[in-house]
Each structure stands twice: as C-alpha cells, then as structure tokens.
Chains A and B, each alone.
Chain A
Amino acid sequence: DAGVIQSPRHEVTEMGQEVTLRCKPISGHDYLFWYRQTMMRGLELLIYFNNNVPIDDSGMPEDRFSAKMPNASFSTLKIQPSEPRDSAVYFCASNFMKTTGELFFGEGSRLTVL
C-alpha cells in the first residue's frame, strides 16, 4: 500500500493567494482527518470526514478555510485568501473505524505564506 499521499509537499505563496492542498487516503479507510502543525500550537485537528461526509469542522480556524471530500479517494483543503499566519505543515491522515484507531499520516504539505 502506498500510504496516505499528500501534494504538494512544499508550497510558497504570497499573501492573498488561494492555496489548495490535496490528499489521497489509504484505500478502504473510511475516516479522513486534516491536521495543522505549528511550533506554537502543536498538532491541531481542523476537520474530519466519515464516508466522505464532514463530521466536525469546529477546528477550522475561520471562513477562509474550507475542505471537501468529493469521493473516497480524494480530499482538498483550501485557504482563500491565504495569510502569513497560515504558514504551517498540514497533515492528512486516514483510518478504518473498525481497527484499533491507528491514524496513518501522510508526509505533510509545508505551506509558507509570504
């Protein structure tokens, strides 16, 4: 299995630009999570989906952030417009509910907003 695949691995953009991060979960997994990691706040859960349906988006910082999961093999996290304080590493993770609960993380997308 290829694991959770995220793209891009690195993104540098200017303030005000739209950013789209992509995630392909492990095949067969029915939960997908988006986390953000910063030095100041650690790992924060932004949103998670079950069977492509958003379950809880209370961690999404503000309306500039949106996430979609149009099918079981693809999810996006969009920031529009981006701001320097959005600079962080964004992780996607997936798991299968009926297992022990182990989360499988991608390698992350490092976002820098200038």
Chain B
Amino acid sequence: QQQVKQSPQSLIVQKGGISIINCAYENTAFDYFPWYQQFPGKGPALLIAIRPDVSEKKEGRFTISFNKSAKQFSLHIMDSQPGDSATYFCAAPDRGSTLGRLYFGRGTQLTVWP
C-alpha cells in the first residue's frame, strides 16, 4: 500500500508570505502527483498536479516542486492570502493501480493571517 507522508500538520503564515508543504512517497510505478485543497464543509478539490517528467509546475501563485530521486514533492503558495486558508492534501497513486485511485497524506491545515 502506498504511503504518503505529509508535513507539517499545521502551518500559520502571514498574508503575503510563502507557504510550503512537503510530501514524501515510497516506490511507485505511476506518474501523477496531485495536491488537493479542502475548505471546511466541502469535499477536497484538485488544486494542481505534476508528472515526474518535469521538476516544477506553476499555476498562478501555486507551484509544485518535484524531486524524483528523493521521492519528494512540495507545494509552494506564493503571496499567501487569507482565502488560501484551507486544508491541503498531497496524494499519490497506488503502485500498479488504475488512474484515479489515490492515497492521501494526512493533510496540512493552513491558516493565513491578514
């Protein structure tokens, strides 16, 4: 079973600061690493995803950095805003599984102070 280890468990950042969340995974034969964002009372929703043929992917203020040799990937939120306050989950697919079957990290609760 895929294990995905996420840190930190919680993060407090001032408005305008950089939020960094890290994830490590074990061996995998698959090639898709997403981050999900969850607001209170809602289901998780895909935020950004990366495939390991690139080391970085940027979408607006959100960037994934991927280190295949270290089996690690991280989410960077630049110019963090109060509206970014949510729980963030990294995920990775189970080895040899179909697309869509994901195992999630334990989550990071991000609070951005105004």
Contact = CB atoms under 8 A, between A and B. Distances in A.
Whether both chains belong to one complex is answered with yes
B67 to A, nearest CB: 21
A61 interface: no
B89 to A, nearest CB: 7
For chain B, what secondary structure do more than half of its interface residues adopt (helix, strand, loop), or is it mixed?
A: loop
Contact of A108 (B32, B43, B49): B43
A98 to B, nearest CB: 8
A41 B43 CA distance: 16
A88 interface: no
**Interface size of A as a range:** 20 to 34
Interface string B103-114: 111110000000
A106 B106 CA distance: 19
Contacts of A106: 43
27 contacts: A31-B98, A31-B101, A42-B89, A42-B105, A42-B106, A43-B89, A45-B101, A56-B101, A91-B43, A95-B100, A97-B99, A99-B99, A100-B49, A101-B32, A101-B34, A101-B49, A101-B93, A101-B102, A102-B49, A102-B100, A103-B36, A103-B46, A103-B100, A103-B102, A105-B43, A105-B44, A107-B41
Interface of A: 4, 31, 33, 42-43, 45, 48, 50, 55-56, 91, 93, 95, 97-103, 105-108
Q: Which 3 A-B pairs have the closest CB atoms?
A: A105-B43, A101-B99, A43-B104
Interface of B: 32, 34, 36, 41-46, 49, 89, 93, 98-107
